[in-house]
Every structure is written in structure tokens, then in C-alpha cells.
């Protein structure tokens, strides 16, 4: 973990939003094909469709875990449309420091799962 920001190190050690939501409205699992790590994202929505609660779980590296913690700590209250508008660059910038090129896929794993939950998570939530 040499060379990473204090923010990344702190979130990797003490991740926010780590856990499960019972009976989520949306859920999605994303796998990093390069390493086999996987993250599961679950969301509960308010009556008007904004994010009321979010959680993540799974087996992933410290960079992916820190990125999930930082991103998901900031999206409660956002609408699905606003979440989909979040760019990869915004997600990486929020990490507070550079990400080594070969770890960018790790850092983006959570936002890929989040986009999957927004776009396809309803079917997942009702199918199991």
C-alpha cells in the first residue's frame, strides 16, 4: 500500500457501508475478471427513488474496498440519474491521491457494481 493517500489507507482499514441490507430494492454483483475479486452492492430506495441506504460486501483488495467506502459514503440521498452521471474520473479523483495504473480496475470495481445495480439491479433483487 506504499504511495497511496492517507484517505485510501484509512478507508481500506475502516470501510464505511460494509455489510448487508435485508430485503434491498436493488442489488448487483460485479467481478474483476483479472483477479476474481467480487463486490456485491445492495441499495434501499426512498419513496421518490433516491438512495436511502447502501451497503457492500464480498472479497476484494484494499484499493477496491477503500474506493467502495469513499464512493458509497457520499451517495445516500442521490437519485439514480445523478449516480449514473458520475464519471470514472470523478470516482478516481475522490480517492484523494494517485492510483497505480494496474490498480485502476480495482478502484473502479465499486462504481461498476453501483451502475449495474442502478441499471439492472431490480431484476436481481426480485429474482432471489
Q: Which residues bind ligand FES (CB under 6 A)?
A: 32, 35, 37, 60-61, 63-64, 106, 109
CA–CA gap between residue 28 and residue 91 (Å, rounded) = 19
Least distance to ligand FES from the beta carbon of 64, Å? 4
For the chain, helix (H) and strand (E) counts, in that order, are 5, 3
Nearer Cβ to ligand FES (66/125): 66
39 φ, ψ (degrees, to nearest 5) = -125, 135
CB of 35 to ligand FES, least distance (A): 3
Least spacing, CB of residue 17 vs ligand FES, in Å: 17
Cα–Cα distance between 33 and 128 in angstroms, integer?
24
- Nearer to ligand FES (CB atom), residue 87 or residue 102: 102
DSSP character at residue 37 = -
| Residue 110 vs 121, nearer CB to ligand FES | 110
Amino acid at each position: 500500500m506504499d504511495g497511496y493517500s492517507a484517505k485510501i489507507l484509512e478507508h481500506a482499514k475502516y470501510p464505511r457501508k460494509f455489510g448487508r441490507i435485508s430485503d434491498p430494492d436493488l442489488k448487483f454483483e460485479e467481478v474483476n475478471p483479472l483477479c476474481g475479486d467480487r463486490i456485491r452492492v445492495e441499495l434501499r430506495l426512498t419513496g421518490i427513488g433516491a438512495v436511502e441506504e447502501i451497503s457492500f460486501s464480498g472479497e476484494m483488495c484494499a484499493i477496491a474496498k477503500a474506493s467502495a467506502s469513499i464512493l458509497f459514503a457520499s451517495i445516500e440521498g442521490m437519485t439514480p440519474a445523478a449516480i449514473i452521471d458520475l464519471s470514472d474520473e470523478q470516482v478516481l479523483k475522490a480517492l484523494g491521491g494517485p492510483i497505480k495504473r494496474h490498480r485502476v480496475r480495482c478502484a473502479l470495481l465499486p462504481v461498476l457494481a453501483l451502475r449495474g445495480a442502478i441499471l439492472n439491479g431490480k431484476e436481481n433483487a426480485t429474482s432471489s
